[in-house]
Amino acid sequence: MNYYHMWFNLKDQRPPADIQFAGAVKAYLDYLKDAGRIEGWNLSRRKFGFSPPSLHEFHCVVWTRDLAQLDAAFGAVATRTGEVERLHMPVYSGVTDFCSALYRDFPDPERATEPLA
């Protein structure tokens, strides 16, 4: 699995804007999942202010089978048209201080784990 991690703050964190944002994320990422573009996702919010400030208030992780699936998802979103753009726009327009990282399961399934002779 590949895990695309995103940390960000909301432009408007006041209720009900935070709940509306969570609903927009669900609609958007469920759309990508239902289309087979991603395998799954999770949205979480920092609790009690516990985290380094650089990780921001919200964390979203999206997982894909492999980099090809992730690339195809990025390609679909990059069209900026149709239903995917309608669902994506309220998500990206609601965030600030965005940062991301890409992780993978380790060791990789194809990785040789036996010591070299």
Three state DSSP letters for 15-49: CCHHHHHHHHHHHHHHHHHHCCCCCEEEEEECCCC
Looking at residue 39, its amino acid is E
Q: Are 76 and 84 in contact (CB under 8 A)?
A: yes
pLDDT, tens digit (0-9, with 9 covering 90-100), for 41-68: 999 999 998 999 889 999 999 999 999 9
Domain that residue 6 falls in: 2-104
Specify the DSSP class assigned to residue 53. Answer: G
pLDDT, tens digit (0-9, with 9 covering 90-100), for 70-113: 999 999 999 999 999 999 999 999 999 999 999 999 988 888 77
109 in a structural domain: no
Number of domains into which the chain is organized = 1
**Which bin fits 35, alpha (ψ -120 to 50), beta or left (φ > 0)?**
alpha
22 in a structural domain: yes
115 in a structural domain: no
110 in a structural domain: no
